[in-house]
Structure 1
Amino acid sequence: MLRSDPLPGALVVLTVMTGMLDAISYLGLGKVFLAMMTGNAIFLGLSISGVTGFSTLRVLLAFACFATGIVLGTRAGRVAERRARRHWFFHAMAVELLVLAVATGLAFLVPAAGTPARTVVIALLALAMGARCATVRRLAVPDLPVTVGLTGTLIALVQDSPLTGGADALALRKAGVVLAMPLGAALGGLLMTAFGLGWSLLAALGLVLLVTAGVWWHPAGPARRG
């Protein structure tokens, strides 16, 4: 499957990056997620109830920018879907790389927490994650939601497993998706502890760059098939 289509493997690796980014944002940008909006809904409720350490403004900003990214990603996908999906996936990732690079640069230039530049970093990264989720949803690769419906993947994995009398041919892929998010979160936590925000975001940027290059140079990718 991976030899004929680079996207399933690429999306699993991007799920690792999503876990990294949400761990980095929680630890370095003030208890807010950039991709996992379910978690932000919980944070919003805690903030409204008066629990200290959570910001209504940051969470609402993440929601708004994530939704804006979905709009932009969906519109771009409709324009580009006339081409092979590996082409418009590559172009979507190239745009994401640009946005991540700007956000990472800001994190290095303004390292102090609580500054307006950190708010811009949240906005840019949530925008990028929203656009990515829209792209992945349109790709419709089975059981690879990246950030949308991870709980559903876990339910499908268990429900279709031998424990319930099922025989799931995609069980390995589903398990990979379920494990990728906590693996990424662990990496993000280690990076934040050792190196701080800027270098952690640079590592996430590097991972996306590797995925994008891998899709481009894959035997079934745009560079080989045109």
Structure 2
Amino acid sequence: MDVRACGRLTLLLLVLTWVTGLIEAVSLLALGPVFTAMQTGNVLFLSFGLAHEGHLPALASGVSLLSFSAGAVCAARLEGAAQARGRSWFVLGLSVEAALITVAAAIGWGLAPRYGAPTARHLMTASALAVAMGFRNVTSMRVNLPGVPTTLVTRSMTALLGGSALGRDSAFGYGTGAWGRRARAVASMFAGGLTGALLVRAGCPVNWLLLPAAAVVLGVALTYVRQPAVRGLGCC
């Protein structure tokens, strides 16, 4: 992949990282507490809930884990089949993700944000989001663009610090421009979380919290379709 195509792909993935921050803000602050993309949190929430410690119910985390797993399996089968047929699995994955986020918005139509003791509709909305994020994780892992995983910034932060003037570790790209991409990934996640938190604080119903996310994901897919130079995915 040439430098310009890689730059365009990086920008698209940074936008998706922003969406993840927004969705996780909605999941945690308006539907949960529950994660839909970062399943490490749900594994821990589930373990704490089963131990009856920390006042964290296990039900929401369990529902999200199962839904995420279903989404990841379906995404792997669907995108693998699309690739085998020479079709754009990236566009397909994002299109399905956007549709699932829209379904989540429809389930949560007019639903008021609620933190703690979620109702059945809150759980159903979170479940649909977790399926969508299962698709996203498969899509981003198939892209495999270093420093921009779109759903988790722990590795990006570690590589950013390790390859910085403080860490000075060549294994993390010290002396190269890789730190810029990693820094933008962390900033994008932060910006998405901040946007989501502000919208929840403003009292927006769940559907208006999620519809913008669906529109942005679909917009990324359409942008990719219109840029043939980006069609060869891979590390860069």
Give the TM-score normalised by the residue count of structure 1: 0.87
Structure 1 segments unaligned to the other structure (5+ residues): none
Q: How many angstroms apart in 2 are the aligned matches of 1:121 and 1:112?
A: 11
Cα distance in 1, alignment partners of residues 180 and 217 from structure 2: 23
In structure 2, relative to structure 1, the CA distance for the partners of 1:53 and 1:215 (3 Å cut) is farther
Asked whether the 8 Å contact 1:70–1:130 carries over to 2, the reply is yes
Distance in 2 separating the partners of 1:112 and 1:204: 16
Q: In the alignment, which of 203, 207, 210 is matched to residue 219 of structure 2?
A: 210
Q: Residue 192 of structure 2 corresponds to which residue in structure 1?
A: 184
Whether 1:174 aligns to 2:182 is: yes
Number of corresponding residues: 220
**Structure 2 unaligned regions, length at least 5:** 169-173, 232-236
Task: Select which of 149, 164, 167 maps to 2:167.
Answer: 164
* Residue 49 of structure 2: aligned partner: 47
**Mean Cα deviation higher: 213-222 or 180-189:** 213-222
Structure 1's 42 and 13: CA in aligned 2 closer, same or farther, altered over 3 A? same
Partners of 1:8 and 1:104 in 2: how far apart?
27
CA distance in 1, matches of 2:181, 2:54: 39
Q: Alpha-carbon deviations, 1:149-189, whole Å to 9, x = none?
A: x2111111111122233213211111111121121110000
Q: How do residues 147-158 of structure 1 correspond to structure 2 at under 5 angstroms?
A: 147-148=151-152, 150-158=153-161
SS in 2 for 1:162: coil
The answer to which of 159-168 and 197-206 deviates more is 159-168
- Counterparts of 1:67-216 in structure 2, within 5 Å, are 67-82=69-84, 87-108=88-109, 111=112, 114-148=118-152, 150-165=153-168, 166-194=174-202, 195-216=204-225
Work out the percentage of aligned pairs sharing the same amino acid: 32
Distance in 2, Cα, partners of 1:23 & 1:71: 25
AA aligned opposite 1:132: R
Letter in 2 for 1:158: L
Deviates more, 1:213-222 or 1:15-24: 213-222
Instruction: Give the CA deviation at 1:109.
Output: 5.3
Q: Deviations over 1:43-99 (max 9, x none)?
A: 2233234346522011011111111111111112221224668x2111111111111
